[in-house]
Chains A and B, each alone.
Chain A
Amino acid sequence: MEVDGLCSLALREFGCEQNLLSRPDGSASFVQGDSSVLAGVYGPAEVKISKEIYDRATMEVVIQPKVGLPGVRERAREQCVRETCEAALLSSLHPRSSLSLVLQVVHDDGSLLSCCLNAACMALMDAGLPMGCLFCGVTCAIDPEGRLITDPTARQEQNSRAVMTFAIDSAQHRVMMSSTKGSFSLDELQQCIAVSQRASEKIFHFYRESVRRRYSKTL
């Protein structure tokens, strides 16, 4: 898909750390510019009989906002993260078990859902859960002049007429999940998807470098 020169593929600086919490089986912290999310994974653990699924693991996601109690907005984000994780994990290897993912928002400066997705993926990798592919989140915003901004800050999101978040998988760079807000045309949607797919390569490269750094002591 041709992308016109008006879009900027500039992503904010990434930071990531794995295995930083002592209690969860896997944990990771992901920082995108000023947005920061901390993720913890517990599993495969015991599950209540009422919630168990006979052939797959039961996945639960909880997103804790920085201030206040979780509300409807968090529930919507939890659903997006949960569907993406269930598609990427090989949950049929752990039937009648539960996988719990807890995400704590440390600071929200835009692109929060994609930061949650990235932190979730690194935490699932850190816990050693079997995954079929990796996933990453990319957010695009369209400002009133029609320019495409990737990885917008909170101010850029407020001033834009559409904000879209896509979860992209690592195997075939296809869209696993999309969450959009605002009004946009079909052409703009396809442009955003193409730009997100290009941006996801940078994020996957960053994942690989982080994991390589983590294992560098034992190599």
Chain B
Amino acid sequence: MLAGENMLRSFKDEIGHVLLPGDAFLFDLPATDCKPGKVICGPGLRRNGDVILVCKSGILRHKMPNLFWIDAQQRRYVPAKGESVIGIVTGKSVNVFKVDVGGSEQASLSYLAFEGATKRNRPNVQVGDLVHGQFTIANKDMEPELVCVDGGGRASGMGVFGTGGLLFKVSLGLSRRLLAPHSEVVKDLEGLFPFEMVAGMNGRVWVKAQSMQQTVVVASLLESCENMSAPQRKVLFRRAAARGGS
């Protein structure tokens, strides 16, 4: 028997630790529970009977009561249902637009999936435009589908945008941090000069400020604050605000 064979350790002890693909855990249910425990495995975890297997390298995170996931640093986006992304229109077909969202396949966006669009009233979208939409269908077996309306038929911030401004890429972790409620990064950004920003879960961010220089300053600040800790980031933003970004 070789030493170093993977022992099935308690899953909960590893919260906050770095795990590698191939690590296996036995989820132990508390003995006093009469109801069967439920564990929700998020991204990076897979279930194999009673064993939980890790399939990505990263930090194990936990949210009460029973949600576990692996927090991994990744650059490539994989479409998932319900996520709102920024796409670039690459083609027009009979009834659909083809949109590049940064995944392995182009997504399709129907002409009628805009607020107030009917068969007579086509949306004014050209090849090369930026659209902000949500996925209604996104799984590994089918072509992903986007819509620019929410469940009630309203736009709620989605649709075509972006005359002027700058589109750039950040990592998926930073875009998730920008879109989180009460985001620290967004609060620090509010201390700079006024600008418009649209962030997508696929790592794409669009920024427009009053002048070209300010736009480029915001873009380079966001690209560089990826690996910084919170105090370093605050210092950097304060220095940029003091210079005024003329």
Using CB atoms and an 8 Å cutoff, list the residues of chain A in contact with chain B: 19, 25-26, 43-47, 90, 93-98, 125-134, 169-173, 197-198, 201, 204, 207-208, 211-212, 215, 217-219
Contact = CB atoms under 8 A, between A and B. Distances in A.
B163 interface: no
B81 to A, nearest CB: 15
Interface of B is mostly: loop
A47 B104 contact: yes
Nearest to A202: B4
Given A94-B104, A172-B5, A130 B20 contact: no
B226 to A, nearest CB: 10
Given A93-B140, A125-B57, A134-B20, A44 B229 contact: no
Contacts of B186: none
Contacts of B71: 218
B2 A132 contact: no
Given A94-B140, A125-B20, A125-B21, A197 B2 contact: yes
A97 B78 CA distance: 11
Interface in B17-33: 18, 20-22, 24
Nearest to B75: A25
Contacts of A97: 104-105
24 contacts: A43-B104, A44-B76, A45-B76, A46-B106, A47-B104, A126-B57, A127-B75, A127-B76, A128-B74, A129-B56, A130-B55, A131-B21, A132-B21, A170-B6, A171-B22, A173-B5, A201-B3, A207-B20, A215-B18, A215-B58, A215-B59, A215-B73, A217-B227, A217-B229
Nearest to B229: A217
Contacts of A47: 104
Contacts of A129: 56
A95 B141 contact: yes
Contacts of B55: 90, 130-132
Contacts of B16: 219
A131 B20 CA distance: 9
A45 B104 contact: yes
Contact of A134 (B5, B21, B24, B58): B21
Nearest to A127: B76
Given A125-B20, A197-B2, A217-B227, 12 more contacts: A19-B73, A95-B140, A95-B141, A97-B104, A125-B21, A126-B57, A127-B75, A128-B57, A130-B55, A131-B22, A172-B5, A218-B71
Contacts of A207: 20
Contacts of A134: 20-22
Contacts of B227: 217
B241 interface: no
Given A171-B22, A219-B16, A204 B4 contact: yes
A170 B22 contact: yes
A127 B5 contact: no
B53 A43 contact: no
Interface in B94-140: 103-106, 140
Contacts of A217: 227, 229
A93 B78 CA distance: 11
A96 B20 CA distance: 26
Contacts of B57: 125-126, 128, 211
B55 to A, nearest CB: 4
A168 to B, nearest CB: 10
A95 B140 CA distance: 7
B58 A133 contact: no
Nearest to A54: B141
Given A25-B76, A207-B20, A218-B59, A44 B104 contact: yes
Contact of A133 (B21, B103, B229): B21
A145 B165 CA distance: 71
